[in-house]
A = this chain, B = another copy of it.
Amino acid sequence: MAQKPSIPKGTRDFGPEEMNRRNYIFDQIRDVFRLFAFRPIETPALENLSTLLGKYGEEGDRLLFKILNSGDFLEKTTEHSDYKKMTTQISEKGLRYDLTVPFARYVVQHQNEITFPFKRYQMQPVWRADRPQKGRYREFYQCDADVIGSKSLLNEAELVKMIDEVFQRLNIRVIVKINNRKILAGIAEYIGAPDKIIDITVAIDKLDKIGLEKVNAELFEKGIEAASIERLQPVLQMQGSSEEKMNFLKNLLASSETGLKGIEEIQTLWNYIASYTLKAEVELDLTLARGLNYYTGAIFEVKALDAQIGSISGGGRYDDLTGIFGLPNMSGVGISFGADRIYDVMEELKLFPEASLAATRVLFVNFGDKETAYCLPIIENLRKQNMAVEMYPDSAKLQKQFSYANARQIPFVAIAGEREMNEGKIVLKNMQSGEEKLIAKDQIQENLH
């Protein structure tokens, strides 16, 4: 009996049109990575669970796809009632959850082969057993670029320029929001609540939406003392450009070593960025709370100006990316492009180029073996000129062959019958205008416009 075929929830098939559009995005990102001298690596989809577990918090551990051991997995199993304990006995491998942990593992494992600083990019799918919902999938691509083994802020600047370059090419207007964890730490220190960085940042983020009064109430609820909240007020009411904010904070945080270090970092980054010609807006944004659990310096987030959607790229610096695998003091900074969201933005703003290089330019009609023998060398020659060309494989009814050309949106159809063959010619039909031209068989290329 035939099964009704389907795919697991949260996964997707990509058809040709979708693939061409996705590849358009991937190709642009890859090309920018290449120009900035990042180098490709790939890691296996399967990692040992010992590599993955404990790296993404408790929820992450739960969301890992785990592979059942091969063969008789029950043979050595002692646990049969607690599924969590049993999992560790019947599963040793899991699917890649992101590209950062495998990269850290890669760097440690191959440290003797790598020339540092190491700039790598990686574009591969990752898997998460998340509850599927609109725009969230269980399999999706990440496109990451990281520099490891250099603390220079020039790396941050290059990443910002790369973001700018990618979105220029894709024709998406963006703002790059930049924060620095050290500034946030300085503020928390300054107001006397050094352990409340995240609460403070999240509260600042709500200022526009709920107003100053409610933000202050929320901070109080989070257990921050009234005196601390009082000291925070100048920060909450801070106005002006990124440069003005930096100057303001420099005075305010004069007593916090960490805070001043953060401001110095931001200023250095700003100076570097000023050397490039950027199309993207760049803004210091103290409300960026993204990845505060692991980033130690710069934090980036990119938003599309013309689409209502979350961040389409982001990243930051980790001071100790590889310590967990036994290689301490390796500072790394990186960014990640969210291909799915970028796709949605480009779809919404109609930014995909109409015709793609990938599409068939001419369909040759099939009238039978003799005509096929006449056409195949012509087809071979057009392909040599880098043109995607095909012949309808069966000598089906003409109507069927033209329907195929229409359905596939092939712009030209080439027809060669007895008479054209005798004269060394071909009829070329423009499928949009309906115009037909009788031309020499070696002059097709010039007429495909």
Contact indicator B87/A83 (Cβ below 8 Å):
no
Would A377 and B36 be within 8 Å (CB), given that A13-B110, A14-B41, A74-B83 are in contact?
A: no
B-contact 0/1 string along A248-290, CB 8 Å cutoff? 0000000000000000000010011011110000000000000
A47's partner among B2, B7, B369, B387 (CB-CB below 8 A) is B7
Question: Taking chain A's interface residues, is the majority helix, strand, or loop, or is none over half, making it mixed?
Answer: mixed
Q: Determine if A86 is an interface residue (Cβ-Cβ < 8 Å).
A: yes
Partner of A41, one of B15, B65, B75, B83: B15
A41 touches B16 (CB 8 A): yes
Binary CB contact string for chain A from 47 to 78 against chain B (1 if under 8 A, 0 otherwise): 11011000000000011011110111111000
Pick out which of these stretches binds chain B: A145-153, A233-241, A305-313, A344-352.
Answer: A145-153
- Which chain B residue shows the least CB distance to A381? B277
A358 at the interface (CB under 8 A from B): yes
Chain B interface: which of A112-120, A197-205, A212-220?
A: A112-120
Q: Does A8 touch B at the CB level, under 8 Å? A: yes
Residue pair A119, B380 in contact (C-beta under 8 Å): no
Closest residue to A327 on the B side, CB-wise?
A: B2
**Chain A stretch 121-154: residues in CB contact (< 8 A) with chain B:** 125, 127, 129, 138-139, 147, 150-152, 154
| Contact A117 B47, CB 8 Å, known A39-B19, A40-B16, A326-B3 | no
Q: Is A294 an interface residue (CB 8 A)?
A: no
- CA of A109 to CA of B14 in the docked complex: distance in angstroms? 12
* A129 in contact with B376 (CB, 8 Å): no
Interface flag for A231 (CB, 8 Å): no
Interface segment, A186-194, A388-396, A433-441?
A388-396
Is the beta-carbon distance between B325 and A2 smaller than 8 angstroms? yes
CA distance A372 to B158 in the complex (A): 12
Contacts of A351-396 to chain B: CB distance below 8 A? 357-358, 360, 366, 369, 372-373, 376-377, 380, 383, 386-395
Q: Mark A144-187, 1 if CB is under 8 A from B, else 0.
A: 00010011101101100100010000000000000000000000
Q: List 7 A-B contacts (CB under 8 A).
A: A13-B41, A19-B39, A36-B390, A46-B139, A71-B83, A73-B83, A150-B394
List 19 other contacts, CB 8 Å, given A67-B67, A155-B393, A165-B383. A2-B325, A8-B47, A8-B92, A8-B93, A12-B44, A13-B110, A16-B41, A34-B357, A37-B388, A45-B45, A46-B127, A62-B70, A67-B68, A72-B83, A115-B408, A117-B393, A150-B393, A154-B372, A275-B373
